Structure 1
């Protein structure tokens, strides 16, 4: 089956076809002729792109499952890219997230894919952006990206998602994390999950105290704080409403278009950087020459670039 037929089948709800197209993106990257043809066939779409990040153990996958159920009640098609750590043996994704989302495995309106990081830092895989555009172009109404959960440096999701949720949980040191720079600063909506546990009120207070220190211009978005018990679907309706409110704010003026332009620019730069690294490889012999003192780093770099002057 050719790419046009696969795209048509995927748009009609064939999850096997969607899986094959995602595999094309993952295995071919975004620089092959096949990937270029696929991009042309699936351009367009206007999905709500939601990023979900937070430390391991805060309940990201459980929350994703609850959000899927809420959006399916609105008859929206939902695609999920759950970024997992790579297996040290096969290089593939460790499928923990898909196991926790098994309630939606038979729903034809839901597509869930575990994506291996394959060594990429920042909480995402190198091809996550292309995967998001593919699902959007296949007609999904909502695309959720769940990051691998690597900690405070996990900020790449903010450049990919329209709305980024940061999950915290009581009793995990998140009250201290709330006053530190890093991943906390990228959130559009804060979510204190497992809010039935002791310490939830304290986590909310810490977030409010942090937000009170941030100066905002008139009309600037002010992040809401939602409390949820995802395992019992409590607070999910309020969270969905907060996400919708942020999308409405983005749609005012040029916020959404500007964010997507910046996302495209970041992806182009990342692709250019990868192509340059591939073209200008540093050989083991050259590295050994620098390590042995036979040449210096600057001269070695000029030789890689083909400039010996």
Structure 2
């Protein structure tokens, strides 16, 4: 992403933890449906051979991050937010990090060179590899890779491997080239499994947020009418607590402060650090931002 492009994009900063620098997010694009988000994320996975995972944040947005490294701090992540008014999605990306293909591929060989994992039985799909190909050698190459073998669809791996071997014209006895092609096919197979999982998670999230976006949440009647009947006197636990008419000024002050504290936890799956006030605001607030699920909240 070029610096000029980044400056022209909408940006905001979010709290990343105690004694940690704030994280800058850039708005990549707004999408009219979750299928468009799926297509974009899928292209990123294909381009950088990424395994991604998702987790819903405590504020109801969806964090999409690297699932390739055990403890990933260098890779970027995405925040997907849903606008209940426009029914659009906004996709934000950590602006100060980017994907590196070399680091992703290198993870396959971390710890490689040592003994292979327990041999186990040759997957049935590999028994159908083309005649002349040393199936046991292929299986040994796969087991030496630092990849989650449980995420490999072996029939898909076989198709990828045979297609790559044919495209490159690899001879059955060319063990050096074969080993590299096996690694690429195995990596690609795990990416395909990850893409299916992310697609399923995105669609499940889409169903949840659209089901939650009831007419009651977008009515223009009095703020108190947005609250459940049993929470109008003290609405702290309501999802609409910032819009309620408080019973006392103390209640109102508490609710306003609680919202500012909650806005600091967008990057966390669990509220594990001390609460504090909002540390940053978006640099730019374009028309139409009303109704968004706040990226920080």
Query: TM-score, normalised on structure 1?
Result: 0.26
Q: Which of the two has greater helix per residue?
A: 1
Greater Rg over alpha carbons, structure: 2
Query: TM-score, normalised on structure 2?
Result: 0.27
